[in-house]
Every structure is written in structure tokens, then in C-alpha cells.
Amino acid sequence: MGRGGRWIPFVIAAVVGGIAILSFTRSTDGPQDSARPTAIGATTLAQSAPPTTEFVESTTPVDTTIAVVTTTTTSDSTFAAADPYGGVATVGVIGPATTLNPFIERSGMGDAVGAITWASAFVLDAETYDIKPGVLSEIPSFENGGLSANDDGSVTVSLRLSQQARWQDGQPITGHDLAFTAALLADDRRVDSDLRELYSMVSGPEAADDTFRFTVTNPSIDYLNLFQVILPRHQVEGTDLFGDWTDRIWVSAGPFIPGAIQSDGSVALRRNPQYRGVDSQGRDLPYLDGLLVVPYLDEAEVLIGLTEKELSVGDLGGGYQTAADRSDLLISFAPGEEWEHVGFQFGSGRFAANPRSMVSSSAFRDLVAVVVGDDELVSEIGGTGLYPTSSIVGSAWPRGAAPDQPEIVEPSLDEIAAELGRDFEEQPPTVVYATTVALDRSQMAGITLRELAARGVAVEPQLQDPGLFFRDAVIEGSFEVAEWAWTVTPGPVGAARDLQSWFGTSPSRDGLDFYRWSTNTESAALVDEIAGLDSIMDLGELQTALQSIDGQLLDLVVVVPLWQTSSGAAYDPRRIDGYDHPRFGVPITWNADLWLVPGGCADLQPGEVCGGPGQPEEAG
């Protein structure tokens, strides 16, 4: 099973208050200040996969003990290139756990451990969010025969297992493991209801050592959310998934083997000798002897752990800037999960906000898009803390973004007046801009006021408490122009489900359509296209559909994309090398098999830093 590029876990459940939860829920008030849609596509579990890795056969004897063994390494400054092995890294994560069983509880700790231990059929590329095979040999498609259309409209899926996929005890991962997982998760009433519903799509299963075949009666791209955690039949069969797997976890398929949760909440992991990963030079992975994952309640506690030299790397989430003035730490950050945008109200509620609303004019919407969609304005507001974006779909799956996004030419007030049939001398143009009192949004409201006023349009900013804004303005549709954020679900399936939630009308897909744009008869065909995402199973076909929808929504100017927030981590370069902060929704440990301890410091202890090759010194 060849691996190229950067790989990350597939779809992780929503994070609320720092704790990952299995079910995706929608929050429209409170301190999160963003709306979170319910989506089946988010109720999946995940395994990470390392970057620039290939799988090879291993002749290492099976060893299923759990203790972490630290190798003391003393070498010169060529350590990383010549002998990268040895040492233990300590990782700080947000969100303690009471169990590592992801079907009982999701947590920051559980996801960090699971990302380097779970077996998964599908994973996401870390940079592109493309779906890649995990323990499979390929992603099914109609072209390679993995998908086959039947006369009755159903589709047969054939999942072909890689011959190199192994559990830590040396047993191969087979189609029988997938069949066992599907049956258990579909039938056990204690499993989350959304997850049970997902596995109910598996019909007529047929298992073999190298293949698992099943039929999907109602074709859906959701099949790619199956088998995010594969259970080892030879170990779990005959046990109680909920009663017998609370204080222990089944055999690992990742680069590390976890121990039990300790009294302080930490989990020690050691190298998995059966792991088939190798680096770009053909050397076995992982480099480290082990990891110690330590849970913290919040970003502030993680930063304290870094300050006291307890941690090699610490997840700081959106609070990474708190470490900006620390010269002894390096900060790595990436796009976050919140997609900020300006939306227009097409329903009649806009007249409650502004009796002279101009939203029905496409020229007016173009004018707002030109004003607020300027990337330089985003830099003015957030500096390096915000990632400007011009796509709706691209934040979830860059490949799904419209390749040729429409160029908007700034219209004149005369064009807007002509389209509305108004005389702006008698009725001067005005717009009501509603948002919350958050600093970046109030700044954006001020910029909008400034820029539109310079063009002859008066702006009335309405800065509201988040709870009131989402309840009274967004949900009720009583705004004219409003700014808020959606929480993005990463990956192709997430992109499809987000579109159906944000712009769709189907109750089965939690269609919200707070913009009421679907009330426009000219949008009927596009509404049908969004609903039609349900029946797509081929990734190539899904990409084409998403690009089309993205381009049409942007051309209609239903919304104006602004930016993504960012998340980050801080790490001590004297204690860890090879760390690369993942995109949102991905555990901090996603590429831990490539981490290494800098030369001469493999025996580094808490409270020490590395002063140079072979020269540990007391921390100052």
C-alpha cells in the first residue's frame, strides 16, 4: 500500500467546548459564535496515516506488550539523517478522556491516541483533503470496478484490502473484520443512532480475506464515511464492545501501541513493530520509541506545560497566539474550522430590517462582494490569524472549489437604481449590516460602512449579542446583510453535506437555508443540484458537481466568502523535530511516526532542554 503526500485522519466529530463529541450538533447561540449544522457526514471515526510513507513487509517478531521503552541515544549533529531512532515525545492535548473506546466517548485525548492506532478504510490527504486508501489498496470507483451500478438502481461496492495491512499481533486486516464491524455497529442499540443509520446502508455483505463487498440500495457518497474505525474480529468477537472495552483498547494498526489511561489521565504509547510504514529513504517508522499523551482542560494549561518543559508539543487550538512572544517555542498554525462570510437575505424578512432593501438587485450584491471580498481588508483585520478565501466549498475540499471563479466588476449606483426601478435622489440607498460584537466582525462592519459610504451608500451597522443575533436575525431571517461563520466539515463528503445544510431545504439533510435564497424561482435548478448530491458515489463525479455548485452560488452572490480562522500548536525545537500542525479537525499526532528527538537528546527528561548534540542541560 503505497503512501505519498501528507495524510491525515478522515472526518472527526465536532468539537464543542474543547471536547470532541460523536454527534454533530448545531449551535446558534452562545460563546462559539458560529452555527454548527447537524451532518451524518460528521459522525464518523478516523485513523491517521503518515506522510511520504510506503508500506513494506516486516519480519519483526510480534510483541504485544505495552510498556514504553526509552532508547538512550548519543550521536553527533548528523543524528536526524543518520540515526533518527529513539526517545519519547510528550504531547499536550485539550480534552481528557475516561476511555479510549471511540464508540463510548470522543475526546481530544481519545482522538490523539486513535489517530496513531486505529485501522481505517479511508483517510484524508493533509494538504488537499483528497480521500486516500487507508488499509485499502485503492479507492473504489466505476473506472476501477470498485463501484458497479445494478439494474435496480443500487450500487455494489467492493473494498479491496491491502496485503500489507496488519494488526499489532501480526494478524492481517481482512474483509471479515469489515463485515464484523458493519454488523456490530448496525445492530447494537447502544451505538450512536447516526452511526447505526450510516451502517444500515450496508446490504448483502460478502466477506473474503482480501475483499469486502456490499450493496448500497440508495446510492450515497456517505459510504465513504464507513469503516473509520475497523474492529479486529479475532479479538472483539464474543466480547461486549461497551462493557469489556472501557479501560483497554483493541490491537493497534497504527505506528504506536497504546497502554491504558493512567491515574493522571495520560496515556503512554510505544512503537508498533508490525507497522508497515517506511520513510522516503526506506527506513522503518516510527522513529520514536514512544509517546506520552497528556490531557489538559484548556489552552492556558497546555501553555503552562510547555513553559515548565513538560511537553515537546502542545495543542493550543485557536489560542495559539498566546505563545507568540515565546522565543523558546516555535508556533505552527493552519486553517481553522470556522468559515466566515457575508450572507444576503432573499426572503421577506429582509424588509423588517430595511424596508428599502436592495438585496433583490444582483448589481447591489455585486457591489457588496467587491467591497467586503477584498483580501487586503482581511489582512487589515486579522493579520496572519485569518486565511482569506474566495470559495464556499474550498475550505472543506480545495479540489471541489470552482476552478474559474467569476470575476465581479464593480457596478455603479445607476445600474443598481435601474435594476430596482428607483430614484436614489428621492430614496437614497441604504443597507443594514448585522453581525455580532466580536472584534473582527465589528471591524468588518466599520470597513463596510467606510467603503460603501465612499460609493454613496449609507450603512447602518447592527452589532448584537451572539445569542440574539443568531436567534432573532439569522434563524428568523430578519436581516438584510449579515456576517457570521459556519463550522466546516473537512473532506469531499463534508463539503457535500455542508452545502446541503447551509443552502439546502431537505429536512433529511438538515437543510437550513437561512438566506431563503431558494425562494427565488431562478434558483430552482441549482436547488435540485444541491439535493442531487445525495445520490453521487463516485469521487470524480462529486468533484464536478461541487465545482459547478460552488461557481453558481458565487455567480449569484448568495454569499461572499471572507476568511477561515486559524488554529495552531507550539512546540519546543530542542525537544522535538518533524512536527507539522495539521489542518482543522485533525488530531495533533497525525504525523507522529515522523517525529524525532533532536540529536543527542533521546534521553531528555521533563524539566530538561537540549543545549546541543549530546549536551542536555537544565532548563532555565
Q: What is the pLDDT of residue 405?
A: 77
CB-based contacts of 289: which residues, under 8 Å, 6+ apart? 68, 69, 70, 71, 85, 86, 87, 88, 270, 271, 602
CATH 3.40.190.10 residue spans of the chain: 7-329+572-618
- Under the banding of pLDDT at 50, 70 and 90, the label for residue 287 is very high
Evaluate if residue 413 carries a pLDDT over 70: yes
- Determine the Cα–Cα distance for residues 259 and 160; give it in Å rounded to an integer: 31
Q: Across residues 416-435, what is the average pLDDT?
A: 96
Tens-place pLDDT, residues 54-90: 333 223 333 333 333 233 333 333 334 467 899 999 9
For residues 286 and 620, which has the higher predicted lDDT (pLDDT)?
286
- Determine the Cα–Cα distance for residues 566 and 440; give it in Å rounded to an integer: 13
Q: What is the pLDDT of residue 44?
A: 32
Q: What is the pLDDT of residue 603?
A: 55
Among all chains, which residue has been given the C-alpha cell 489560542? 319
Q: Across residues 348-361, what is the average pLDDT?
A: 96
Tens-place pLDDT, residues 198-243: 999 999 999 999 999 999 999 999 999 999 999 999 999 999 999 9
Q: What is the pLDDT of residue 46?
A: 32
Q: What is the pLDDT of residue 128?
A: 82
Q: What is the pLDDT of residue 433?
A: 97
| DSSP assignments along 173-203, one per residue | P-HHHHHHHHHHHHH-TTS-HHHHHHHTT-E
Evaluate if residue 604 carries a pLDDT over 60: no
Instruction: Determine if the peptide bond prior to 286 is cis (ω within 30°).
Output: yes
Q: Which of 165, 166, 146, 168 is nearest to 156 (CA)?
A: 146
Q: Across residues 457-485, what is the average pLDDT?
A: 95
Least confident of 14-28, 115-129, 153-167: 14-28
Beta bridge partners of 256: 271
The CATH code that applies to domain 337-566 is 3.10.105.10
Q: Which of 563, 565, 545 is nearest to 499 (CA)?
A: 545
CATH 3.10.105.10 residue spans of the chain: 337-566
Within 10 Å of residue 367's Cβ, how many Cβ atoms?
26
Q: What is the pLDDT of residue 58?
A: 28
Q: Across residues 369-382, what is the average pLDDT?
A: 82
Share of the chain above pLDDT 90, in %: 63
> CATH classification of 7-329+572-618 is 3.40.190.10, yes or no?
yes
Query: Which SS3 state, helix, strand or coil, does residue 118 take?
Result: coil
> How high does pLDDT run on average in the chain?
82
For residues 23 and 365, which has the higher predicted lDDT (pLDDT)?
365
- Determine the Cα–Cα distance for residues 507 and 509; give it in Å rounded to an integer: 5
For residues 45 and 38, which has the higher predicted lDDT (pLDDT)?
45
CA 226, 231, 236, 241 torsion-angle sign: negative
295 near 93, Cβ under 8 Å? yes
Evaluate if residue 375 carries a pLDDT over 90: no
CB-based contacts of 434: which residues, under 8 Å, 6+ apart? 353, 462, 464, 469, 473, 479, 480, 481, 482, 483
pTM above 0.85, yes or no: no
Tens-place pLDDT, residues 146-167: 999 999 999 999 999 999 999 9
Tens-place pLDDT, residues 501-515: 999 887 767 788 999
Q: Report the alpha-carbon angle 95-97-101, nearest 5.
A: 130
Determine what percent of the chain falls in helix, strand and coil, rounding each to the nearest 5: 30, 20, 50
Q: Across residues 549-561, what is the average pLDDT?
A: 95
Tens-place pLDDT, residues 379-393: 778 666 788 899 999
378 near 441, Cβ under 8 Å? no
Q: What is the pLDDT of residue 384?
A: 60
